[in-house]
Chains A and B, each alone.
Chain A
Amino acid sequence: GAVVSQHPSWVICKSGTSVKIECRSLDFQATTMFWYRQFPKQSLMLMATSNEGSKATYEQGVEKDKFLINHASLTLSTLTVTSAHPEDSSFYICSAILGAWSNQPQHFGDGTRLSIL
């Protein structure tokens, strides 16, 4: 079954709106979560690494004031796209790691399709 839950699945909103996406680890604690962005027919690009209780680590070129990440608990990380514009329309997907063993994959949520009108 799913180990990471992401909500909402779809968002359509007007330009200038702020949108919050939630990523929850189910039945396990995730000190680290990851946020990715995927444009159509392209690969996943890491936006930031979310660390519980501390500031997120953003990848080069990602605006931290635009994409606010909060990892306030061991089971929840949120990504807020502030003052969203049409160019922010994309597929956003989060992931978490279940354990500390080297063979542990990142488990992904189902993703959020964001459309800004």
Chain B
Amino acid sequence: AQKITQTQPGMFVQEKEAVTLDCTYDTSDQSYGLFWYKQPSSGEMIFLIYQGSYDEQNATEGRYSLNFQKARKSANLVISASQLGDSAMYFCAMREGRDTASKLTFGTGTRLQVTL
């Protein structure tokens, strides 16, 4: 079974609108962390936001927020007030266990295109 599933290969959103990128995960660990990264066409991976499995509140970082629904094992990224510069690939990733040196498992990504 896939550990991280991103079901939206591509998404379009108009500038200034909000968009939700879906991510579901599968783990039997009680302790885990969920991450979202942005990858522009230039290739670098930019960390956006983190949600820990024990965090009771949804994470927020500026225009990014994470809709964490633990029982449903989903960790959707919400981007508010989209900007043209938000056009990129977005990857959801999970780190299982408490060891911060544990590997990340990435989803297949969602390509977001912001339009005028």
Contact = CB atoms under 8 A, between A and B. Distances in A.
Nearest to A44: B106
Contacts of A108: 37, 44-47
Contacts of A103: 33, 50, 52
Contacts of A99: 100
Interface residues of B, number: 23
B91 interface: yes
A93 interface: yes
B103 A43 contact: no
Interface of B: 31, 33, 35, 37, 42-47, 50, 52, 91, 98, 100-101, 103-109
Contacts, number: 58
A110 to B, nearest CB: 5
Contacts of A105: 35, 37, 47, 50
Interface residues of A, number: 27
A97 B100 contact: yes
A45 B4 CA distance: 13
A101 B109 contact: no
Contacts of A113: 43
Nearest to B111: A41
Contacts of B108: 42-43
B45 A43 contact: no
Given A105-B47, A105-B50, A110-B43, A43 B35 contact: no
12 contacts: A34-B103, A42-B108, A43-B108, A45-B106, A49-B101, A105-B37, A106-B104, A109-B44, A110-B43, A110-B44, A111-B45, A113-B43
Interface in A1-39: 31-32, 34
Contacts of A45: 106
Contact of B101 (A31, A44, A91): A31
